[in-house]
A and B are shown apart, each in its own frame.
Chain A
Amino acid sequence: MVRAVSTSDTFETATFSGENLICRRGGRLVFTGLGFSVASGGAVVLRGPNGSGKTTLLRLMAGLARPIAGRLNWSGAALADPEAHGRHLRFIGHLDAIKPAFTVRENLAFWADFWGTRETALVVKAMEAFGLAALADFPARLLSAGQRHRLALARLIASPAPLWLLDEPANTLDDRSLNALTQTIADHRARGGMVVLASHGADLVTGGTTLALDKFTPTNVMPWDET
């Protein structure tokens, strides 16, 4: 299906969009009537204050959370099978999914293997891109918070997928890693990849669209008053 075998390959042209999404967390409506669209080579930056639903929207885009109304489309067709949607995307959240007992290389190789990536050279390339090559055979338990985060981001290169969903990817990164991430994202988009990221601070993308989530926050609506 949609899977690049090598880094030089480009992804199939696709669009990922959502319409009229309504989402509830912990009994409260987080956003209503939200829509978005991102095409190959495009990027969307999610902005908004705490509690406006950036993480919720990213998890919803990944299929980890479900909206109470609205729909998600892949290239115009509604996502019929949420389980299959997983192969379109890589999601990097606040938790890094790293096993401390494994080395840096083993951690990356497992995920590449898990997602069926054939090309093992990508693991090495991923470590180089995020400055982890020298740490390859160290157990992950010795890594600092920033290094762990870079290891999580390295999964993006080790096992390619067209859509990247990144939750505050700039957190805990130093200047050099920030540049590496900006470059990685630019390369990905140049190959026809898509990026959606939540961000407070620095711009990691150029020419992307910005989605301000506070526009969709329901304001003091008593839901039962409308009926």
Chain B
Amino acid sequence: MHKYANPTQFMRIANAIYPWVAGLCLLLFAAAIPVALMFSPPDYQQGETVRIMYIHVSSAWLMMMIYGIIAANSAMFLIWRHPMASIAARASAPMGAVFCALALITGMLWGQPMWGTFWVWDARLTSTLILFFLYIGYIALADAFEDSERGDKAAAVLALVGSVNVPIIHFSVEWWNTLHQPSILKAGKEGVGSSVHGSILLPLFLMMGAFTMFYFALLVLRLRSELLAAKIRNARLSQIAGHSAAQPAE
């Protein structure tokens, strides 16, 4: 019964670290929000809009990190058939999709004053949009089967295919962008690139740390409820088994 021992073991560890992760998350947010949104100086080129970047970069960081976590968990699930890996991957996907959407929305809000329009086919914005589609596809596939184990496996293969493809897509979009967008973005890009300064880095790292801890805290909560749901499902199923197959033998 090692398959069931593992989740139990895992939950014991996860429950032990949960208060720390959640506490650290609150602490970091308490520090990051005032520093990033009020006390840090406005950018000399971008003015107050630079504050959107703290949310934007943190969301973008999480959407990439979560995709990496999903891919790594999917590989572990397919190679060692560890059920926890699959549960963690599936629980992470909606969060990744939400952070991806957040990165897109904040990117558009930031782009409006910078580029004078909400949407341009900027390489990074376009790549993010495609990653968003990959997330949606992953979630839809994982959820499309009556037999949830089949969904686990199919989604895991898709995540690995995606992880090979994400760099290829990114490179293609980058190249396509330089081909078609000669000058509009230069100012915006340099604005981001040149203004990396100490006064911006501190709030940025605080915010990224807060976001990361937020993700881990939510992940533990989601895993816990997933495992409880699995217990209920198993109890129901063994009741059915007890009624249909085992009875005639008695």
Contacts and interface: CB of A to CB of B under 8 A. Distances in A.
A222 B245 CA distance: 16
A70 B245 CA distance: 22
Contacts of B234: 27-28, 222-224
Interface residues of B, number: 23
Interface stretch (A87-95, A132-140, A212-220): A212-220
A218 B240 CA distance: 11
B8 A227 contact: yes
B248 A49 contact: yes
Contacts of B190: none
B179 interface: no
Interface in A183-222: 214-215, 217-222
A83 interface: no
A51 interface: yes
A223 B4 contact: yes
Contact of A49 (B5, B235, B237, B244): B244
Contacts of A68: 3
Name the residue among A26, A52, A227 with the largest chain B CB count within 10 angstroms: A227
B233 A220 contact: no
B245 A221 contact: no
Name the prevailing secondary structure of the B interface residues: helix
B149 A27 contact: yes
Given A27-B233, A28-B238, A224-B231, A214 B5 contact: no
Interface string A87-116: 000000000000000000000000000000
B235 A217 contact: no
Contact of A28 (B5, B231, B237, B246): B237
A127 B59 CA distance: 66
B239 interface: yes
B4 A50 contact: no
Contact of B4 (A26, A52, A215, A224): A224
A26 B145 CA distance: 11
A22 to B, nearest CB: 10
Interface string B217-236: 00000000000000101110
A220 B239 contact: yes
B238 to A, nearest CB: 6
A226 interface: yes
Contact of A220 (B1, B4, B147, B246): B246
A219 B246 contact: yes
27 contacts: A27-B147, A27-B148, A27-B149, A28-B234, A28-B241, A29-B238, A48-B245, A49-B245, A50-B244, A50-B245, A51-B244, A51-B245, A52-B245, A214-B245, A214-B246, A215-B249, A217-B241, A217-B245, A219-B242, A219-B246, A221-B238, A223-B4, A223-B238, A224-B8, A224-B231, A226-B1, A227-B4
Interface of A: 26-29, 48-52, 68, 214-215, 217-224, 226-227
Which 4 residue pairs across A and B have the least CB separation, nearest first?
A: A28-B237, A220-B242, A219-B246, A214-B249
